[in-house]
Structure 1
Amino acid sequence: MLKFLPGILLLQVITVVLVLIAPAELSGLGWLRLLIPVGIAGVLTAAWFNSMAAHHNKDELSRLQECHAKEREALRINAERAKTKVIKQAHQETIQEVRRSSTEANIKVGIAFAGAAGIGGLLLLTQFITLGLLMLTTAGGALGGYVLRLRQEKAKNLLITTPTPKGKPRLINASAPTK
């Protein structure tokens, strides 16, 4: 508001000066001699005020746009951080679940093979040598096949993938892509 005070005071000074220099008897065209300069001063002052208000609005709009741009950027950064955090957390949970289920499966398979080997050993001790040897070789062959399959899966890294900074999944222990 203080920006407009000099213009208001100037308009009042112009109006007072024009009234003071006007003749005492105003008739007919005498009023026009007073009203035309006062009107011109009023129109010029109004244009000046309009220009000042437009600049003030433009500056305020620019300031608000800058403020909103900063806020929008902060929101986008926070959303990206939250997204990355959720992805990492989900990935960790997936890895834990895969490890847990793999461990459970390995324990069950190990118990089954140990049971088969135990039965084979028992048959050997009870004089069923052919049946005992057959049971032991079957359990050993199955265990060997299971271990071979686990090694092949581990070599190919088919179980677990990790996200890269660019968002594309990459196999664990796989070499970085060459350009």
Structure 2
Amino acid sequence: VKLRLDRDDDMLATGKRHCFYYQYEVGYDNQGRILAVKVEMVLRAGFSTDLSPPVATRAVCHFDNAYYLSDVDITALCGKTNTQSNTAFRGFGGPQGAIAIEYIIDNIARELGRDPLDIRKLNFYGKQDRNSTPYGQIVEDNVLHELVTELENSSEYRQRRQAIRAFNR
């Protein structure tokens, strides 16, 4: 017996990428350097576990993304719902973890009235110090500073931001 569902039914029945809900508290100084962060991630697992625990674990491990977080408390919970079971997709929790810290950094920049890129650069992992992840891995061969500076210049980032501000007045 073969069963071929039409696309509408297939989309209703098959698992999707996990939706995440985030709650956080963040401490930062007047420059925007993150001093401490506490985040709780709740992912919608669906009606069965499927691959939700590994997705949650990977989200936790990717939360720091490119940023040094000296004091961090990360919790990830799998929420059972009455929807189809969600499953692993490309990135497997990594994007959901990384987007949370990017959102937090954007909010810090907004609160301080600073450019988000400046807050990002201030919080990047260092080369010799501030280079240990929350789970103890030493970041080696960190080319992020040079790469971002090169991209900032070649994309004319500052000029574009200024032109956008002028246009939106």
TM-score after normalising by structure 1 = 0.21
Q: Based on CA coordinates, which of the two structures has the bigger radius of gyration?
A: 1
Structure with the larger strand share: 2
Which gives a bigger RCO, structure 1 or 2 (Cα 8 Å, sep 6+)? 2
Higher helix share: 1
TM-score calculated relative to the size of structure 2: 0.22
